[in-house]
Structure 1
Amino acid sequence: MRNPLLAGAAVVFLTAALAACGSSHDGDGPKAADAPRSAAPGPSVAGPSAAAPTDGAEAGASGASGGSGASGASGADAAPATADTGPKVPTDELTPATGTFTKKEKEYLTDRVPRGMDPAAVLQAGQETCDKLDFLVKADRRIAVGSIVTGEVPDAAPAVAHLCTDHQDLVDEAALGYADGTHTGKELRPGAYRSVSPTTACTWRAEGAGGKVLDQGSSASGQPVRITLPAAARTFTSTGCYAWLPEGEKS
């Protein structure tokens, strides 16, 4: 499990977000408030789980890939309705029981509403995603980004693109991060990364051509650690570290 304090805080934040935030992110949705509050969990982002040396120590590790953080996924209990295969409601038929959808809401719903499903329920899921991000970013921005990387806040990219564009910076950063897992080839970006909410069993390893170990490490402190992914890395594997975010110029 993750760092007890940070992990527990993230759970509390998400739970409180659902209870405290309104049924609509902007409060101007159509009949979404009457739809079931069922933000279907989306796939977790597959990424390296790296545990590294103590703060300030640099170790070769795999870097972030532009897209692995927020899209690859292995993990949630259930896929969002929009992941279902099958016919979708045509755009010109997307109408709520009462009122109307805004242009942005309709753009979000396009190709996301399976036949037979109330579009307001799908919209509600997107609005709840925005509500969660609103809540998390105020409490801890890095956990907010990490929750997108790992998929704990599912389907963030489309929700942000259409319903809460003020959070686009979170999605952009998450696209350069990694969740626990193994990353190879083009997914890897050399550079410095810092863990988000690691556990006391956080371990990581960077390998080069032929499986040569370039660097590896572990941390029993449960505190965020910094690693550096070498340019020669071909594989990066991480477990128990939750998520890694790029340090950028701040490293």
Structure 2
Amino acid sequence: MRRPLHRRPAAAAAVLAALLALTACSSGGEGGAEPPRESKAAGPTRSAAVPDRQAETVPTGPTPSATKGPTVPDSELKPVTGSFTATERKYLSGRVPENTDPAAVLQTGQESCQRLSRTAKRDKDAAVGAIIAGDIPDAEGVITHLCTDQMPLLTTARTGFGEGTVTAPKAGTYRALTTNPACAWQALGADGKVLAEGPAPGSAGNVRANVPAGAREFTSSGCYAWLPA
């Protein structure tokens, strides 16, 4: 029968606190497999390294991916001073809510690019995990239009999936993008029977999951994000 996963959030909190302390001391600089179909679980544990979250770079404008309702027409996408480039206009198209300064939305995207660049220089897995887990707002649009040099990160992220419950997972070996000892997983069959479960330690302390053929569901907790191993 299916057994519940055990959660140990204290270790995840310690890892995140250590990363934030490291970020605050840094001045920074600029810098496969077919993905299963995913249904996100509530409250994921962000136990892997996450993007640089210095106060001066945390986006303060509207989150483009969350834009709903009427938006500013493309013909009215003009900054208070100067002008937008063609690339910037493509990014802003459909992303600026009415009565919102398009320059603020653009700045949000540019800051996301900067965070990605800084994080990737320290740890590419952390940057990819942040994209998969949704820590980078509108990562697809941001990378496609504003920082195409980060496209390899997006390409890799498309092969992975976040923690929670994934239906019809593709058989194979996956690695968790975290060293959190609380990471645990189960692969379940059509009848709910546990076919495989972990953690099973991998290289550099990461957890690896072996999903057998015939698995109908893959559930994980405290694992942040997964990539094919």
TM-score under structure 2 normalisation? Answer: 0.75
Q: How does 1:45-60 map to 2 (within 5 A)?
A: none
How far off its partner does 1:73 sit? 8.2
Counterpart of 1:192?
173
Task: Give the Cα–Cα distance (whole angstroms) in 2 for the partners of residues 90 and 139 of structure 1.
Answer: 39
Stretches of structure 2 that go unaligned for 5 or more consecutive residues are 1-8, 45-59
Task: Determine if the alignment matches structure 1 residue 171 to structure 2 residue 154.
Answer: yes
Amino acid at match of 1:239: S
Identify the residue that residue 209 of structure 1 maps to in structure 2.
190
Q: Deviations over 1:142-185 (max 9, x none)?
A: 01101111112221110000000111111121122122211113
Q: CA RMSD in A?
A: 3.2
Give CA deviations for 1:114-166 in whole Å, capped at 9, x if unaligned: 00000000001100110011000100000110111111222111000000011
Identify if the C-alpha distance between structure 1 residues 219 and 179 changes in structure 2 by more than 3 Å, giving closer, same or farther.
same
State which of 97, 100, 108 in structure 2 corresponds to 1:114.
Answer: 97
The residue type paired with residue 91 of structure 1 is: D
TM-score by length of 1: 0.69
Distance 1:118 1:231 in 2: 51
Larger relative contact order (Cα-Cα within 8 Å, sequence gap ≥ 6): 1
Q: Contact 2:183–2:223 at 8 Å: present in 1 too?
A: yes
Aligned to 1:238: 220
Amino acid at match of 1:65: P
Give the SS at the match of 1:209: coil
- 2:71 maps to a residue whose letter is K
CA contact (8 A) 1:10 1:143 kept: no
* Compared CA separation, residues 3 and 207, structure 1 to 2 (3 A): same
Q: Which one-letter code corresponds to 2:190 in the other structure?
A: A
Find the aligned partners of 1:118 and 1:85 in 2 and give their Cα distance.
16
Tell me if the contact between 1:198 and 1:240 (Cα under 8 Å) persists in the aligned partners.
Answer: no
- Please give the secondary structure, in 2, of the residue aligned with 1:211: coil
Q: Unmatched 5+ residue regions in structure 1?
A: 26-62
